[in-house]
């Protein structure tokens, strides 16, 4: 099986390592919130046909290796992942509304790196 995926006029293999954290790097992704965040992100990726190759939810940040179709930009994917997940997290965990002002759960930025020849190193990370 080829590592490349196909669309009607495109053959592609676009993998990205992304890392982002909650605002102020608070350690709030613990216990029940950890599994909920994982499930929400999985569902959002499934809906938008973004494949999660690896994922790791830590108390104060998230690592994911994503296979993103070339029809989406990384910033668009991160925008809907962070935006939609924040809404769902605030609905489920009302106590977090006191900690975060104005429904801003995630910090404004993220780190992204393309995955190339050192994919195995990143996946082991």
Which residues form the catalytic set? 125
Rounded Cα distance, 29 and 9, in Å: 40
Which contiguous run of DSSP H or E holds residue 63? Answer: strand 62-67
Residues 6 or more apart whose Cβ sits within 8 Å of residue 124: none
């Amino acid at each position: 099986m080829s590592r490349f995926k196909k669309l009607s006029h495109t053959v592609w293999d676009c993998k990205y390592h992304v890392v982002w954290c909650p605002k102020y790097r608070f350690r709030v992704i613990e216990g029940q919130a950890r599994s909920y965040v994982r499930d929400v992100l999985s569902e959002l990726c499934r809906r938008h046909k973004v494949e999660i190759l690896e994922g790791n939810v830590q108390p104060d940040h998230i690592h994911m290796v994503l296979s993103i179709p070339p029809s989406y930009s990384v910033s668009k994917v991160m925008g809907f992942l962070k935006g939609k997940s924040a809404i769902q997290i605030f609905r489920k965990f009302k106590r977090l509304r006191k900690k975060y002002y104005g429904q801003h759960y995630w910090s404004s930025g993220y780190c992204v790196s393309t995955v190339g020849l050192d994919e195995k190193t990143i996946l082991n990370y």
